[in-house]
A and B are shown apart, each in its own frame.
Chain A
């Protein structure tokens, strides 16, 4: 609409009236004033919608342009950098966005403050320190690429980060919270969300810890020096800069700082004309003074603890939205830092976990001695808290009652590194006691605790035993003579109420647990008095005894899915009556349990659509499903407690888990009749890694539960090969260190040097070791994460490493980095990424071929691509349709099976773990199928040095076997253990074996 001055005046007049009137009157005012002048009304309303943000918008436009003026170098070329625009400025100089003309990448260029030029030795020291921090190549330390000088002004070139400094994040937060609170002081509303606090804090602690371990102290940890990228990665900026900026030797620091702080004033009367004495002499502006440690304020000599303190203040600020120390003038702030404890974080933000308050408090103690000993300790506490927070928030678990038949023999994923660094820590009140102490060779396979809590009956490879709990007394029970060899099994609730007798089942020793059914199984009753065991019945699996001791529940009549009939019978074989019967394709299932009233039972049934947990009255009535098939899959084993609570484990019963997989017990309360959860699940343990089977019984008072816990140990071996690789002799450990997960991953072509990896905790380390010597040299420094595989490039200049991210999950969708490290030692550089579980291998010179085998996104095809240690990914060589049983969804249950022959001409592949091995020529020769038994599960393929055979690992029901397989299918067994695979030496004389052993023992849990 065209405006004339009259109209404009009209609009303005109304605009002011409306803006100034009571908001509730606005509409009425507009109605009255416009009187049908629709255009006027529209115009004023449009203006009104802009009114609130107008001032900020106009001011912002001018402001940002002026800010841009500070960046005088925009558009210029400095050294080989084209400066594009200003990025920001801090107490330590201006930062520009620049383009590296040589490398064509974008970087951040930071000009150091003028003061820094005054002391060349300080500059040199800073450079040293900054380089040292940078050399750590730590993901949480912003790397510096280069140092330079432009017209006498030193600058440094840093990685360009996208995101914000923590200071900006916190300020935004403060701004938003004060806006939403209409100016009221809003305390903790400015705090970051707890997840973010912990996440950022742990990352900062990681970075600081890495630096401290190299003796590098930051000295100026504060929100402005912490960058949070848009991906949420925290990076510490400006290592060493604080010291440079101080520009004075330690000897002078005390006096200087004292004087400066005393003189410091926040509001400089003339910000530019008179240089701020504090800024110019120390480079540490007011903002930083608020994060100083007391010892720093006193000008004392500093150690790593100063960073810990400052970090504590940063943590405080993230968690509360407020600074711990504020003061309008230097002396006030100084006093606060030295003497006043800040308001406890939890008083500011009542939503904080108490533990976080404690952690912060300990970090910001005035006396160094009272603080954490190291950032690593602090980090540990943060990490524990994080786990706790995550676990309690875990989605509600529906649970239930089940007792798995025996140890479920797990499908184990092929991982070079299995971390068993689990802590045996329970939640505060829960008490854990280990009841058995069996070696890996003799794992406990089943157990049950007696109702009076006096005995533990358990089974291992040596037989069946009875332990008197609380003593060292344990005796073996005499087993009955059977016509054929049997494997014994014991159910969760195997005991009679009198605690004198228990049930056990005898299965044919020739069968693996998954094959067990009632068909060739007999049920027995054992006695603690040493009476001869009595057979209850053939063709039956016995589950449990009723509370009155009069009835035993057993199943029989196996169909395709399991036993189809459930019966009750007296202890002397009397009074047998059928309880349930289902059709051929279904099972009445397992895990029978009598509720304490003896009138209702719980069990697991399956009509072909998956296992369900159900309850029903003994004398008929409908089944109540309390656990649907999908809910069932979310839990591991479970059992009812006498008081109606329900105890269950995470689904971590399948073999050894990765160390970062939670594997815990939970308890919740359910309505026995409806199955509904009436008390939310509570986690009882705090474990990661390992695996659980059971629970294995509960005492009658419901206070003690037994369970089976499995943990693993790994070791690397070297052995000599004879008879063309078909015989193995003289095996010895690669390193003698206990629990050293040292795995030989490759050999040099002269077969004299081994590439070895050690995964320890959440870090890995690659080194090389001479064969027959224990001298080792690092290839790279310890890095967070774990190595999944490493191969030597054919020219032997690089080690190519496949690294799985720590905590990334055991999942196909997790992306894994492939990096290269110089064989001579150095830092890893990123090559490309692949899906978790992809496999790579390299041929030997003169071939230059390395390949990576990956599954397509739909996991239906294996794609084999060439790669080069320098150039990265190359062309696709071949692709193979996978068998449908090769995988299942996102879950990673194996790696693509593919290996390149030493001469680089052939691929050995398998389309699933159960498929035969195929040899595909890359030179157009016909494909060869290696005939094999095919009943076991193929886990690993590696070409023998002579190209005439393969070393393969096959999983069996109770472990894994390493075989030499010639191309005609003839197999020779070389090694057996829980898991094992071999890496042959190029001269064909040796083989390195990675071996894991598993031990399983019974534990008891109390006070849950």
Chain B
């Protein structure tokens, strides 16, 4: 991982072109997910896979994290785990809020109609 002792991060230019190309292809593919109107589980899983691959390429190669020492990579990536906990907690919370609204909001609150596309 840390073989090079030259100044800063120097790598063959070819790897940047490869990653650039990969990002273009992955972006095109995620755009096609919408263009072809994939729906349901297929849509969500494709979007997430392409997103994570793109993020991985950018962090690992463009930001050189793959070439940094493990101590640095851990200091940056482990705190992100806390964010996953936040996302999980907030999705439970949102689910519950949605349930209470579905059950109670149309009973005399007077601020919402359930017809699609209309508010007030």
**A interacts with B:** no
Binding site for B on A (CB under 8 A): none
